Amino acid sequence: MSTGLAVHGAFSLKAFNTFGLECTAERFVEAFSVEDVQTFVRDPFLNSSLSLLLGGGSNVLLTATHLPGTVLHVAIKHREVLQETLDYVDVRIGAGEPWHDFVLWTLENGWGGAENLSLIPGQVGTAPVQNIGAYGVELNDICTGVHFVERESGTVGYYTREQCAFGYRDSVFKKELKDKCVLVSVDFRFTKRNHLLKTHYGTVEDQLTAAGQLPSPKTISDAVIAIRQSKLPDPAKLGNSGSFFKNPYISKEQFSFLQSIDANAPGYLQPAGEIKAAAGWLIEKAGWKGFRRGDAGVHALQALVLVNYGQATGPEIWELAQDIIADVQEKFKIGLEPEVNLVG
Ligand X SMILES: Cc1cc2nc3c(=O)[nH]c(=O)nc-3n(C[C@H](O)[C@H](O)[C@H](O)COP(=O)(O)OP(=O)(O)OC[C@H]3O[C@@H](n4cnc5c(N)ncnc54)[C@H](O)[C@@H]3O)c2cc1C
Give the interface with ligand X as residue ranges (CB under 6 A).
Answer: 18, 52-60, 74, 95, 120-123, 125-127, 129-130, 132-134, 173, 182-183, 232, 235, 240-242, 341
Q: Quote the least distance from Cβ 249 to ligand X, whole Å.
A: 17
Residue whose CB is less far from ligand X, 164 or 182: 182
User: Can you tell me the distance from the alpha carbon of 280 to that of 46, in angstroms, rounded to the nearest whole number?
Assistant: 40
260 is catalytic: no
9 three-class SS: strand
Q: Quote the least distance from Cβ 284 to ligand X, whole Å.
A: 18
Residue whose CB is less far from ligand X, 49 or 329: 49
118 is catalytic: no
Residues 58, 185, 241, 243: which is the catalytic one? 243
3-state per-residue secondary structure call for 238-295: CEEEEECECCCEECHHHHHHHHHHCCCCCEEECCCCCEEECHHHHHHHCCCCCCEECC
Q: Quote the least distance from Cβ 331 to ligand X, whole Å.
A: 26
Quick one: the chain helix, strand, coil %, rounded to 5?
30, 30, 40
CB 262 within 8 A of CB 284: no
Residues 27, 151, 161, 169: which is the catalytic one? 169
- C-alpha distances (whole Å) from 284 to each of 34, 65, 277, 280 are 44, 29, 13, 6
Residue whose CB is less far from ligand X, 208 or 232: 232
- C-alpha distances (whole Å) from 53 to each of 57, 99, 148, 268, 341 are 9, 17, 13, 34, 11
| CA-based nearest residue to 142, from 183, 96, 94, 191 | 191
CB 209 within 8 A of CB 132: no
User: Can you tell me the distance from the alpha carbon of 124 to that of 112, in angstroms, rounded to the nearest whole number?
Assistant: 17
Residue whose CB is less far from ligand X, 166 or 288: 166
User: Can you tell me the distance from the alpha carbon of 27 to that of 12, in angstroms, rounded to the nearest whole number?
Assistant: 10
Pairing type for strands 143-150 and 156-160 reads antiparallel
169 is catalytic: yes
Q: Quote the least distance from Cβ 100 to ligand X, whole Å.
A: 10
Q: Tell the burial category of 124 from Cβ atoms under 10 Å away from its Cβ (0-12, 13-18, 19+).
A: buried
Q: Quote the least distance from Cβ 257 to ligand X, whole Å.
A: 28
Q: Quote the least distance from Cβ 238 to ligand X, whole Å.
A: 9
Q: Catalytic residues, which ones?
A: 169, 243, 339
